[in-house]
Structure 1
Amino acid sequence: MSRTIAPHPPTTKPYAVRADAHPNPTAKRLLKLMDRKKSNLCVSIDVTKCEDALEIVRRVAPAVCMVKTHIDIMEDFTPAFTAELARLADEHDFLIFEDRKFADIGNTVALQYSSGVHRIAEWSHITNAHPLPGPGIVTGLGKVGKPLDRALLLLAEMSSAGNLAVGDYTRQAVQMARDAGRDWVVGFIAMGRVDSDGDDDFLVLTPGVGLVAKGDALGQQYRTPRQVVYDSGCDVIIVGRGIYGIEGDAAAVLAEAEKYRAEGWKAYEDRLIQA
């Protein structure tokens, strides 16, 4: 998806300044550590074995502000996995984003978030939800997450070809976030500044990022870190296979993560200078 949006006013402010004004503790923490580590890189861990996932995290941890998990694809899940993930997050100064994409009525998502084998709210700093079910999904998740100082993102747009999260759907997602308040809904998964008609200063996390713009056989569309951060005003780049799928040892994977971190950070610094 090719999209360029003029930078929204909050994107002209440094992450640390935005942190001071943010009402959500997790968003505040994220913005501060992004400034501290000079990283706006989130690595998506899309493997199915717990030890493989932890090994990727250990390799990329120095370069990231966040790691993104899909806990329901882990074939050998035990609570020991999330305990170790949380320990690594504390040790290496990053947040955990469970990409659960909740999409049900409020009562059901509250149980999915708090209960079952995964107990997502106990270890994931940030999670996300589709706005499709209506504001009840935000309320239901908030009953669990807000007392724990967690944060929620709404899926306002997606990076896959032919997706339906466009136009009025996206506008309604933004309004739902505004109605809920930034003390709980801190931003969006989106391709650009979907909140460009206001001064809310939501966080925008963007998937489908590659050092070379291209696509894959399953409809994923890739844009470069500069296109995402500088041109479209987004805050965090999400990268998966482009980092840990390369040939090489731990040092090679970290070096690839470092390339993305450097590209994303340079685009952010240039955005501040341009303002």
Structure 2
Amino acid sequence: MSSQASSSKAGLSYTDRIPFHSNAAAKQLLALMDKKQTNLCVSVDVTKSDELLEVVRRVGKSCCMVKTHIDVVEDYSHSLVEELVKLSEELEFMIFEDRKFADIGNTVSLQYSSGVHKIASWSHITNAHPIPGDGIITGLSSVGKPLDRGLLLLAEMSSKGNLATGEYTRQAVEMARRHRDEGFVFGFIAMKRVHEEHSAGAAEDEDFMILTPGVGLDVKGDKMGQQYRTPKEVILDSGCDVIIVGRGIYGKTDEQEVKVEAERYRSEGWKAYLERTRK
């Protein structure tokens, strides 16, 4: 982690960062992370409803968030999200639908609120590419903000050869800053604290949460270009806030092994956070 990041909000506890956020979902997430002592988000990218819910039951106690790709579920029904919401309340985790919206404001407002999935009605957090410009935030906010939802912008990605770098990332940060006071955008999907790397124009009380995919303890990559870093590299070295882990947890075939792996990642992520906040 850079010297700039080490003296930033990243050195505070999650609870101590709550006053720097006006978004209700961000406040809830920060409080939940401290309460459960976890910065783990489990990405459950499976195609059957029963399998999705079974994985969630196994990992829910170890994570602060479950990330879904609801459009890959082949037997989707509204009862699936009803059960998912019920589990989120029982096991105390938030739901992040990884929709990656990428269209004009009017279109994304309909995609978010309507159609088969009605994402805004059940998902606490979603995300969007900044490619369409500020209108994508305006459109999503018109639906999500009245429901106390939160939005993340994709500033960086973990796949090899992706184009979300350099000027693209800087523009994503600037877009989030323009809308920060509106209380809907609260962070980024990124590999590091991008807002501190692009600090020109930052307010003194600025704080964005960084959620980071591409986290693995046993492998460094896959055949499709995904690249992995350890929880320590992500949380301690890069100053990120939430580790997103998928196949490294749900890819295990034994029920107990899935629970063990979820707890293993929770423990490693939390240990790195404690080391970071002690500095």
- How far is 1:105 from its partner? 0.3
- How far is 1:15 from its partner? 0.3
- How far is 1:71 from its partner? 0.8
Identity %: 62
In structure 2, distance between residues paired with 1:160 and 1:153: 18
Is the counterpart of residue 244 in structure 1 residue 243 in structure 2? no
After TM superposition, the structure 1 stretch with the greater mean CA deviation from structure 2, 206-215 or 230-239, is 206-215
Preserved CA contact (<8 Å) 1:212 1:223: no
**Deviation per residue, 1:62-93 (Å, 9 max, x gap):** 00000000011010000000000000001111
Which amino acid is 2:185 matched to?
V
Equivalence map 1:1-275=2 (5 Å): 5-6=2-3, 7-8=5-6, 9-181=8-180, 183-196=183-196, 197=199, 198=202, 199=204, 200-212=206-218, 214-249=220-255, 251-274=256-279
Q: Which runs of 5+ in 2 are unaligned?
A: none
Secondary structure in 2 matching 1:268: helix
**Deviation per residue, 1:38-81 (Å, 9 max, x gap):** 00000001000011000000000000000000011010000000
In structure 2, distance between residues paired with 1:15 and 1:189: 18
**Deviation per residue, 1:146-165 (Å, 9 max, x gap):** 11110000000000000000
- How far is 1:244 from its partner? 1.3
Task: State the number of aligned residues.
Answer: 270
In structure 1, distance between residues paired with 2:96 and 2:253: 26
Secondary structure in 1 matching 2:164: coil
- How far is 1:248 from its partner? 1.7
When residues 136 and 233 of structure 1 are mapped into structure 2, their CA distance, relative to the original with a 3 A threshold, is: same
How high is the TM-score relative to the length of structure 2? 0.95
In structure 1, distance between residues paired with 2:55 and 2:87: 11
- How far is 1:98 from its partner? 0.2
Preserved CA contact (<8 Å) 2:20 2:207: no
How high is the TM-score relative to the length of structure 1? 0.96
After TM superposition, the structure 1 stretch with the greater mean CA deviation from structure 2, 60-69 or 207-216, is 207-216
Q: Which runs of 5+ in 1 are unaligned?
A: none
After TM superposition, the structure 1 stretch with the greater mean CA deviation from structure 2, 160-169 or 13-22, is 13-22
- How far is 1:247 from its partner? 3.5
- How far is 1:212 from its partner? 3.4
- How far is 1:22 from its partner? 1.8
Secondary structure in 1 matching 2:177: helix
In structure 2, distance between residues paired with 1:263 and 1:78: 35
In structure 2, distance between residues paired with 1:220 and 1:256: 20
- How far is 1:10 from its partner? 0.6
Preserved CA contact (<8 Å) 2:190 2:212: yes
Preserved CA contact (<8 Å) 1:213 1:224: no
- How far is 1:246 from its partner? 1.8
**Deviation per residue, 1:82-116 (Å, 9 max, x gap):** 00000000111100000000000000000000000
In structure 2, distance between residues paired with 1:216 and 1:55: 25
